[in-house]
């Protein structure tokens, strides 16, 4: 089987491996205003004055849902808020984060302990209110899906059939995987 990587995208002006939900609400809104000024990425629209309040409320609910589902099924998060990655990248990021203005960090999935990670099909915030939202997936379940589908490409094609785009979001609950020196 192909080696599977967890991919973290960020434009050069953004610090990697950060989660705005780890800040106080006041600091999150101040950072959002700063991030909105970076026009190199269409994803920064969520930080704009017309969007951030609703985005922030959705992120609060989404991360509560993630945390509650992860812990209810036996996950042991070190942090209350995860760091976000994509399994093998994602097709939406290619549009939102043009390759010439984004940096990527990669972590081999095999290097992340099963107790420190979970996955969702699609963007957790975007899928929050969808009636067909799928549950949190654990590493053993993802590996079983990979085996069932035969390759990451086939699994992502299956995900695209299910939700309309090929993205598996990964949520790492321990910062030890994102310390300096990551590739």
**b/e string for 119-144 if b means 16 or more Cβ within 10 A?**
bbbbbbbbbeeeeeeeebbbbeebee
Residue that wins the pLDDT comparison between 134 and 1: 134
Cross-strand pairs, 168:
121
In tens, the pLDDT along 53-111 reads: 998 999 999 999 999 999 999 999 999 999 999 998 655 555 555 555 556 788 999 99
The tally of domains found in the chain comes to: 1
183 within a domain of the structure (yes/no)? no
Classify residue 67: in a domain, yes or no. yes
Residue 94 within a domain: yes
Q: Please say whether the beta carbons of 120 and 171 come within 8 A.
A: yes
Asked if the structure places residue 31 within a domain, the reply is: yes
Q: pLDDT tens-digit profile of 155-180?
A: 999 998 988 888 899 999 999 998 75
Residue 144 lies in a domain: yes
Residue 36 lies in a domain: yes
Asked, for residue 122, whether it belongs to a domain, the answer is: yes
Q: Which domain holds residue 154?
A: 5-178
Q: Which tops the pLDDT comparison, 14 or 1?
A: 14
pLDDT at 181 over 50: no
pTM of the model: 0.85
Q: Residue 107 falls within a domain, yes or no?
A: yes
């Amino acid at each position: 089987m192909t080696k599977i990587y967890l991919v973290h995208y960020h434009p050069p002006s953004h610090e990697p491996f950060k989660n705005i939900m780890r800040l106080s609400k006041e600091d999150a809104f101040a950072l959002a205003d700063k991030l909105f000024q970076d026009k190199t990425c269409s994803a920064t629209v969520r930080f704009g004055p017309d969007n951030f309040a609703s985005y922030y409320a959705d992120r609060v609910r989404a991360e509560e849902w993630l945390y509650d589902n992860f812990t209810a099924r036996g996950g042991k998060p070190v942090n209350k808020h995860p760091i976000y990655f994509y399994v093998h990248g994602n097709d939406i990021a290619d549009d939102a984060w043009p390759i010439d203005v984004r940096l990527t960090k990669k972590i081999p999935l095999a290097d992340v302990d099963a107790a420190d990670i979970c996955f969702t099909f699609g963007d957790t915030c975007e899928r929050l209110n969808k009636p067909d939202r799928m549950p949190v997936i654990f590493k053993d379940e993802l590996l079983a899906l990979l085996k069932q589908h035969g390759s990451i490409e086939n699994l992502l094609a299956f995900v695209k059939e299910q939700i309309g785009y090929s993205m598996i979001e990964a949520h790492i609950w321990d910062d030890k995987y994102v310390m300096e020196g990551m590739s």
